Chain A
Amino acid sequence: MKKSSIAIIFVAVAMLVGIYFVPIWEIVLDAPQYPESLMMEIHINGMSGDLQTINGLNHYIGMKVIEPESITELKLMPYILAFLILFGIVTALLKSKKLLYAWFIILLLTGIAGAVDFYLWEYDYGHNIDPNAIIKVPGMNYQPPLIGSKQLLNFTAQSLPDIGAYLAFAAGALLLFVIIRERKSTPKI
């Protein structure tokens, strides 16, 4: 591999390290009563934002209380990310193209798995509603969108990637760039 490719791989590794320090995903809730918006930010190992207020409001519709401490994924994700970072460092040190392909695929699969898991989590919270809920709307579920915007009663819920997700996308794009570049420059035997 070219020296510059190795350098790019290290940049991608640094981006992945950055994910530890920034939120990955955000859910923004807007309502007439909340011109300042309510915010829920998902980090690699927890959540931040107006969780207490959101839980307070959710009790009307009978949604489960969101407790970051009891969400298994938030405990596992820091280790998964550490594995991905180590994989990248080893790839760069061994300058192995095979490892590079493998790394890219693992990264891609992790991303997809994360999205699926997030969807299932949203589905669970949106559908598993207390039958004694104060407000019951027949046929209504409160699952926020995976990505994009959705009207949930008086709230417009927007689910959007945050800095962490952009860092992951960028790291993936850099790897793809290195792979294509290295393939082109490989002398044909």
Chain B
Amino acid sequence: MKAPRSVTNCLMLIVFAALLATVSGCSSKKDSKGPALSGDEASRVYVEPGKYDEFYFFISGGFSGQVSSYGIPSGRLLRVIPVFSVNPENGWGYTEETKPMLMTSYGFIPWDDSHHAELSQTEGVPDGKWLFINGNNTPRIARIDLATFRTVEIIEIPNSAGNHSSPFTTPNSDYVVAGTRFSLPIENKDVPISTYKENFKGALSFIKVDKASGNMSVDFQIITPPFDYDLSHAGKGPSDGWFFFTCYNSEMAHTLLEVNASQKDKDFLLAVNYRKIAELAAQNKGTMGKTRFAHNVFDEKTQTASTEWVEQVRMINASDLKGLMYYIPCPKSPHGADVDPTGEYISAGGKLASVIPVYSFSKMIKAIEGNQTDGEIDGIPVLKYDACLSGEVQNPGLGPLHTEFDDKGFGYTSAFVSSEVVKWNVQTKEVVDRIPAYYSIGHLTIPGGDSKKPWGKYLLAMNKITKDRYLPTGPELTQSAQLFDISGDKMKLLADFPTVGEPHYAQAIPADLITKNQVKIYKLSENMNPYAVKSPNETRIERKDGAVHVYLGAIRSHFTPDNIEGVMVGETVYFHMTNLEQDWDIPHGFAVMGNQNSEMLVMPGETCTLKWVPEKAGIYPMYCTDFCSALHQEMQGYIRVSDKGANVPLVATGGK
């Protein structure tokens, strides 16, 4: 969901209140707390202490900027992975090694709005290697390495704003996409907003992903009319090689979009033959536009991030891509663009639509061949709606948003306004079951539900409103996820649990595809951080280029050195701490009193650097912040800070 929650909630609910009263058999409000459970739900979600869950779910954090990983069916929160937001809890974005990860062309940004998690795929099936996630506000895509659950790369997307239609992947993850939600002037120039139609453009970026390293680069951008690109998905099977984007605001409004972008009866689904366009791009089609954006990579050998500045980007005008892009009319303000496991059907949920259109890829190809068009927009032909349509799902609930699929030929669509999940038959388009969600469901997730191979056992609904679902916590409440059993004919509510931030979307995968690659420690012998120490004998202190560098070793239960003298007021001090442990789950933390910075957690075999600029003379304690051992409390030391010019030699002692 992209609209501000309060606006959507208030107005949508008012608008549809009358409708709700008149639509029979569609009401989900019979019992606001839901039906009584039938009895065996508890055992379905009970995972014995010490036993593992069946699936990992990676749930986006929305305004938290992070990704949280949950075990399903228990709903246990496993870990919040810092991505776009600084995390003083472990030093993400505060340590010298991780600061470059949050660098952008706008400078260091401590936050973003993370919407859509996307697992890398091999032959159309999630492979558990990487997780991609978009930054919506300052357009970026991040890549998380699922062997370490660490964000290892963040690339900024030029000529883009509101990176919403992202980061959906092709079946072999050779590309992830970034369709812009806000159209902008190319190179983002200073122009009157009223010149929207002339000066603003919608860029669809195709980001190449290196098969071995995972490294991302912007391969090309397609410049299209200034619509708002909402969501997308790659084709697969017969439709492999195509990408489908939904867009709204075909009215090209730039103010009060709520009304002005809701005038036309239909917006569009844009079909893009990206494979052919990629071939053209490789032959230098288009122009290299001037730009400047950040590409941040975390080097796992040196455990250090760096920023590379990219100065140009390939841009291809849609009007120069005859026969490779088509608009297909789509009922009002579509959201999800979802391709079924066979790759033949594409459904597009229209938030203001009363039906879900299900397009047929083979019919679309016939319509292209038979030239069944209805005019064109900026050189892009508009295909006839009926010519591409397989059928419409009637009475799919109000505000259908997003569809995922199971492995038995059913689609499951979230209906935001009527707050329910609707199950329908992909072949017949008949609704076969519906179940309320509490409340105002946005996206939903089935493990592998947007891939060639859904594991159709569970469905997770991600809800925008919780109200009375949990013990109240003042005006600011948690958001929630709800777990449904979809293994039978009838969907069954099993459990719900609070989420971290706003859960926009999740991806899920059987646990063993992740656990088999897990890293337990970083090998000290392979630590290439230039500031690493490999044993307590290498620890030291030095003054270099006007800064003090302390090379610290941490091992249960002491720092070496742990007494430091000779630091002057106003000097920059870098603590380079290496965790010398080679034992699983023995992190050490590090914090200094009065440091206008975070703490840092250092994993076994890793080196991290924390900066400190003391402003007053005196004695400053430092200590380990992670309860590492029985003598954790003893893991402490002192730093003496003297006034400038004081005759105190720089020394570091300890370990005796």
Contact = CB atoms under 8 A, between A and B. Distances in A.
Interface residues of B, number: 8
8 smallest beta-carbon distances between A and B, as pairs: A53-B583, A52-B582, A56-B556, A134-B631, A53-B582, A56-B555, A56-B583, A36-B584
B216 to A, nearest CB: 35
Interface in B293-330: none
A50 B521 CA distance: 13
Interface residues of A, number: 8
A36 B631 CA distance: 22
Contacts of A36: 584
B581 interface: yes
Contacts of A56: 555-556, 581, 583
12 contacts: A36-B584, A52-B582, A52-B583, A53-B582, A53-B583, A56-B555, A56-B581, A56-B583, A60-B556, A60-B630, A60-B631, A135-B630
Interface in B627-643: 630-631
Contacts, number: 15
Interface in A131-153: 134-135
Nearest to B520: A36
Nearest to B556: A56
Contacts of A135: 630
Contacts of B581: 56
Interface string A55-66: 010001000000
A73 to B, nearest CB: 26
A48 to B, nearest CB: 14
B584 to A, nearest CB: 7
Interface of B: 555-556, 581-584, 630-631
A56 B583 CA distance: 9
Contacts of B631: 60, 134
B586 to A, nearest CB: 9
Nearest to B583: A53
A60 B630 CA distance: 10
A33 to B, nearest CB: 8
Nearest to B524: A52
B551 to A, nearest CB: 20
Contacts of B630: 60, 135
Contacts of B584: 36
Nearest to A33: B585
A53 B582 CA distance: 7
A56 B556 CA distance: 8
Contacts of B583: 50, 52-53, 56
Nearest to B580: A56
Nearest to B50: A35
Contacts of B555: 56
Nearest to B585: A33
Contacts of A60: 556, 630-631
A33 B631 CA distance: 15
Given A56-B556, A56-B581, A60-B556, 12 more contacts: A36-B584, A50-B583, A52-B582, A52-B583, A53-B582, A53-B583, A56-B555, A56-B583, A60-B630, A60-B631, A134-B631, A135-B630
Nearest to A59: B556
Most A CB atoms within 10 A — which of B555, B582, B583, B630? B583
Nearest to A134: B631
A94 to B, nearest CB: 50
Nearest to B582: A52
A36 B518 CA distance: 15
Interface in A49-88: 50, 52-53, 56, 60
Nearest to B604: A53
Most B CB atoms within 10 A — which of A36, A50, A134, A135? A134
Contacts of A134: 631
A50 B631 CA distance: 21
A52 B521 CA distance: 13
Contacts of A53: 582-583
A134 B582 CA distance: 21
A53 B584 CA distance: 10
Contacts of B556: 56, 60
A85 B581 CA distance: 41
A135 B557 CA distance: 13
A50 B604 CA distance: 14
A52 B630 CA distance: 19
A52 B605 CA distance: 13
B94 to A, nearest CB: 28
A96 to B, nearest CB: 52
Contacts of A50: 583
A172 to B, nearest CB: 38
A74 B172 CA distance: 52
B630 to A, nearest CB: 7
A169 to B, nearest CB: 34
